[in-house]
Amino acid sequence: MPRRKRVYKNKKFLKPDPKFGNLMLSKFINHLMKGGKKNTVQKVVYDALELVSAQTKNDPLLVFDNAIRNVSPVLEVKARRIGGANYQVAIEVRGDRKETLAMRWLRDAARNRSGKSMAEKLAAEIIAASNKEGAAIKKRDDVHRMAESNRAFSHFA
C-alpha cells in the first residue's frame, strides 16, 4: 500500500507581509518573533532590508531570497535505531523543511553576531549568506559534511 502524504491539520495559510507582499518574508518575520511582538520584528526586518539595499545597491528581496536559497540544506542526518545500535542516516530534505531550517539558521546566526542593533546584525548576516559566507552557511556546510560522512548508512533510510 503506498504511503499517504501527511496533511497537517492546523497549518494555517500565511498572509504576505504588508510592505513587500512577500510570503517568504512573512514566514521569516514569524520565525524571528519573540513573545508575539510582531510589529517590533517587522520594524527590525524592514530596517535590515533597508540596510541591505543601501550596502549592496540591489533589490533587498532578491538578496534575501538568494540568502535563503544559499543557506537551504540539501541533505541532513536523522538518527535511526536498528538492531540495538543508533545510526546517523543521511536523508534528503524536503521543500518546507529546507525553508524552515534556512530561516532558523539565519536567525540564530544573526542573534549570535556581535553588533549594535538586531537590524544591523540581521542585515550583515543576510548579505553574508547571499555571498555564501557567514555563520549560517557554515552551519549548512557542517550538516552537509555530517550527511556526507554517514552516507554509508543510507540503505537504512
Position of cell 542526518? 77
Within a domain: residue 124?
yes
Closest listed residue to residue 133, CA positions, set 104, 100, 101, 109: 109
Query: Does residue 42 fall inside a structural domain?
Result: yes
Specify if 10 maps to a domain.
no
- Domain assignment present for residue 114? The answer is yes
Task: Evaluate whether residue 17 is within a structural domain.
Answer: no
Ordered DSSP codes for 81-146: EETTEEEEEEEEPPHHHHHHHHHHHHHHHHHHS-SSSHHHHHHHHHHHHHTT-SHHHHHHHHHHHH
Structural domain contains residue 3: no
Output the domain CATH number for residue 84: 1.10.455.10
pLDDT of 39 over the 70 cut: yes
Task: State the average pLDDT for the chain.
Answer: 88
- Asked if residue 143 lies in contact with residue 73, where contact means CB atoms within 8 angstroms, the answer is yes
pLDDT digits (tens, 9 = 90+) for 45-67: 999 999 999 999 999 999 999 99
- How many domains, the chain? 1
Domain, as residue range, for 27? 23-156
pLDDT digits (tens, 9 = 90+) for 10-20: 667 778 889 99
Decide if 143 is inside a domain.
yes
pLDDT for the residue numbered 91: 86
pLDDT attached to residue 10: 60
Task: Flag whether the pTM goes above 0.75.
Answer: yes
| pLDDT tens sequence across 89-141 | 888 898 889 999 999 999 999 999 987 899 999 999 999 999 999 999 999 99
- Is residue 88 situated within a structural domain? yes
Reported confidence tier of residue 3, pLDDT bands at 50, 70, 90:
low
Instruction: Record the cell numbers describing residue 42, joined without a space.
Output: 517587522
Q: Stretch 141-147: mean pLDDT, rounded?
A: 92
Q: In whole angstroms, what is the distance from residue 65 CA to residue 86 CA?
A: 36
Give residue 155's pLDDT: 62
Ramachandran bin of 95, using left for φ above 0, alpha for ψ from -120 to 50, beta for the remaining angles? alpha
